Structure 1
Amino acid sequence: MFVKFLQVALPLLWAGLVFGISFLEAPLKFRAPGITRTLGLGIGRIVFAALNKVEFVLAILLLVAFLLHVPGGLSWLLCVLCLVVLLAQTLWLTPILNRRIVLAQKGTPAPPTYHHWLFIVAEAVKLLLLLALSYTTAQLYIV
């Protein structure tokens, strides 16, 4: 029974973290008095690195829960899609964005790219996938 609870609760916890950090903290920090763009980017880099580690812990726990009690196929698909988005962000987008932050901190303007917007879209997609995963999995257990 606890494994089923985790299958529903972990995606909600993960979604809450993504929403709180990516869609609240990240844009709001630049409005704080005294926060320069360079300082905000440095803070963001640290915060998103920490979030990424927590996301991997949650992803591993979720995978273990899914392996201990196999839910329906749609839940598995949504879980795998969440992991694919997380891996794409971690292995592809984050290194590109981190290099741009380093350039900004050195005072070198980086040429415009689409990577930041793609990261935001990936966060939104991941958030929706996590909510759908929790809902779909919960529906399996409602009798």
Structure 2
Amino acid sequence: MSGGQGTVAAATFVWLGMVLAISFLEAPLKFRAPGVDLRLGLGIGRIVFRALNLVELVLAVLIAGALALGDTADGLLPAACVPIGVLIAQLLLVRPALTKRSNRVLAGEDAGGSRVHLVYVAAEVVKVVALVVLGVAALRG
């Protein structure tokens, strides 16, 4: 395994672990904690997901840089495009809609159910699968 592929593998599995821990563990569990209502949970979630997305961007840039500069297997570039593309779509399309909704809820309005939230969760599932594929491909070289 080349240094570039090692970097891709390491960054990919760190990214995967963070998404699994935050999106699929922390996010739903915080609403089960005593005293955490929807407004408080949304406020916490906004801070946590802003931090997660920043780290995801750093890891995506690290992966892209390793692929651009390193000696890596040919199939890694297309595999890397999927999770990076999903992240970009989430940041540019889905997160703004979620922020608009959470602003209404935090202002005391009843925003009702959120289909956009389901789109975000579906994108997270796609991203997780894509990160597993990318990580395994990087390890196999």
Does 2:25 match 1:62? no
Count matched residues: 140
2:24 corresponds in structure 1 to 23
1:132 corresponds in structure 2 to 133
For residues 25-61 of structure 1, give each alpha carbon's deviation from its aligned partner in whole angstroms, at most 9, with x where no partner exists: 0000001111111100110011000100000000001
2:13 corresponds in structure 1 to 12
1:20 to partner: Cα distance = 0.3
Does the 8 Å contact 2:5/2:73 carry over to 1? no
For residues 60-79 of structure 1, give each alpha carbon's deviation from its aligned partner in whole angstroms, at most 9, with x where no partner exists: 01111111124334321110
1:44 corresponds in structure 2 to 45
- SS across alignment from 2:63: helix
Rounded to whole Å, the distance in 2 between the matches of 1:90 and 1:106 is 23
Rounded to whole Å, the distance in 2 between the matches of 1:70 and 1:24 is 35
Matched residue type, 1:136:
A
Matched residue type, 2:100:
R
Rounded to whole Å, the distance in 1 between the matches of 2:123 and 2:96 is 15
Rounded to whole Å, the distance in 2 between the matches of 1:122 and 1:18 is 11
Q: Report the TM-score, using the length of structure 2 for normalisation.
A: 0.94
User: What stretches of structure 1 of length at least 5 have no aligned partner?
Assistant: none
2:103 corresponds in structure 1 to 102
Q: Report the TM-score, using the length of structure 1 for normalisation.
A: 0.93
Identity between Structure 1 and Structure 2 (%): 40
1:34 corresponds in structure 2 to 35
Flag as ranges the 4+ runs of structure 1 deviating above 4 A. none
Matched residue type, 2:17:
G
1:15 to partner: Cα distance = 0.2
User: What stretches of structure 2 of length at least 5 have no aligned partner?
Assistant: none
- SS across alignment from 2:75: helix
2:3 corresponds in structure 1 to 2
